[in-house]
Amino acid sequence: MNILVVAPTPFFSDRGTHIRILEEALALEKRGHEVTIATYHIGADIPKHLHSRIDVRRIRRLLFWYKKLEAGPDWQKIILDLLLIKKTFFLARTKKPDIIHAHLHEGALIGWIVQKVLFWHRIRLVVDFHGSLTKEMVSHHYLRMSGLFFLFRWLEKCIDNMGDAAVTSSWENTDDINTLRRKKDAETLLDGTRLSMFDGVLEKSVLRERYGISRDAIVITYTGALIPNKGVGLFLEMIPLVSAQYPKVHFIIAGFPLNEIAGFLRQDVFRTRVKVISPLSYFDLPSVLKMSDIGVDPKEATTRQASGKMLQYMGAGLPVACFDTANNREYLGEGGVYASETTAKSLSHALGILIENEVLRREKGEINFVRSKQFSWEKSAEILEKIYKKLL
């Protein structure tokens, strides 16, 4: 099939939304489909070592000063999305896709407009929701309970009903959207992990020497965006608590943007007990995880987003400390240690259970590695292919 992917974001950037877009496209290409991605004017090209022929098409650089790669709303994106409508319309006319696969709420709206304008082409629209639009805007402090909030909430409900089919990245988001979709046909299409990424990674001792971390340390790692709605604030508040109790612990913080956590990094404990890797390339992620002992995901359930980092931790065979949410339980099962409350103190207690018990760390890490095989991008592509064929 000929698939046009709408990605209203600076693709590719080293964060979860982009990893989902990239890995879905790669897995679909591997199954023999032709994939084109329409996206913003900024972002990295798909690395040559992936040997992909995916055609990435970018909007014109009219907003040449816009260079924001991190997640979060920005009013300038309205202009970028208008330009992306134009680009998507052009590609839909010239490429004549069978399917428009639209990511995020903005992409769903763009895909819907193009589908309706080119109605005689009979293009099918599949929307791929990564979370709640308004809840994410609130978490980024772009919206408060006001008339504007209710306007965006109304718009979100309209978009939630768009598309001939819908997929979401989490069970919780599927439940939310199916309360709004008249056809109630949204399916959960989980993020995946590509276990081949960990092939050929250097030994733990070599990696730790390279990054200046003691071989004897118990390394606790957070990877991903350093922004509020990922729960980073609670993770940072927890670091002094754990460091004071466990002298052998060392933390890795890998991600961007650093300006979001600059105030914490000036504290003594962060200078002595934390290794910061920023930015972290997605393709360097396996090395960082392989020198770690424990993964931490402090994300709360409020934004209805999935957790791609969780699956990467699992693929690396790490035990995971996190909050007790439905999504986390579904991913980890017995491979996680769950904080009973959404507080830094509760998360530190969950971590302490793993820090104090090496055997438990190893057992839960093995559980997670085995479970990670259930969550592959190949399986996601197979599900998407069935959805496409049903629509066509």
- 305, two tokens: 């987003």
Q: What architecture (CATH level 2) is domain 195-372?
A: 3-Layer(aba) Sandwich (3.40)
In this prediction, residues 279-298 reach a mean pLDDT of 94
Average pLDDT over residues 289-297: 97
Q: Position of tokens 């904080």?
A: 339
- Residues 6 or more apart from 136 whose CB is under 8 A from it? 73, 229, 303, 305
The pLDDT, as a whole number, for residue 360 is: 98
The 10s digit of each residue's pLDDT in 252-286 is: 999 888 888 888 998 999 999 999 999 899 999 99
pLDDT at 190: 87
- pLDDT at residue 140 tops 60: no
CA 275 from chain centre, in angstroms, equals 22
**CA 346 – CA 344 distance, rounded (Å):** 6
pLDDT (0 to 100) of residue 263: 87
Q: Is the pLDDT of residue 345 over 80?
A: yes
pLDDT value for 229: 74
Integer Cα distance of 352 and 179 in angstroms: 39
Q: What is the pTM of this model?
A: 0.86
Query: Of the given ranges (146-150, 174-178, 187-191, 386-390), which has the lowest mean pLDDT?
Result: 146-150
Which residues, 6 or more positions from 93, have their beta carbon under 8 angstroms from its beta carbon? Answer: 118
Under DSSP, the state recorded for 70 is: S
The per-residue pLDDT for 136 is 67
Say which residue, 303 or 72, is predicted with more confidence.
72
The one-letter amino acid at 278: S
Q: Which of 129, 94, 99, 92 is nearest to 114 (CA)?
A: 92
High-pLDDT (> 70) share of the chain, %: 95
Domain ranges within the chain, ordered by starting residue = 2-192+376-391, 195-372
Q: Is the separation of the CB atoms in 103 and 167 below 8 Å? A: no
| Mean pLDDT, all residues of the chain | 91
Can you tell me the distance from the alpha carbon of 363 to that of 335, in angstroms, rounded to the nearest whole number? 8
Cβ–Cβ < 8 Å for 106, 73:
no
pLDDT at 134: 67
Q: What is the pLDDT of residues 190-243, one digit of tens each?
A: 888 888 899 989 999 999 999 999 999 999 999 988 887 788 999 999 999 999
Is 2-192+376-391 assigned to CATH 3.30.1330.40? no
Please tell me the distance from the alpha carbon of residue 364 to that of residue 225, in angstroms, as a whole number.
25
Q: Yes or no: say if 95 and 118 are a contact pair by the CB < 8 Å rule.
A: no
Q: What is the pLDDT of residue 5?
A: 98
Residue 368 has pLDDT above 90, yes or no: yes
pLDDT at 248 over 80: yes
2-192+376-391 and 195-372 share one fold: yes
Which residue in 292, 325, 321 sits closest to 306, CA to CA? 325
In the chain, which ranges are E strands? 2-6, 34-39, 55-58, 99-103, 124-129, 165-168, 187-188, 218-223, 249-254, 274-277, 294-297, 320-323, 336-339
Residues 77-129: tens digit of each pLDDT: 999 999 999 999 999 999 999 999 999 999 999 999 999 999 999 999 999 99
Percent of all residues in the chain with a pLDDT value above 90, rounded to a whole number:
72
- Looking at residue 110, what is its pLDDT? 98
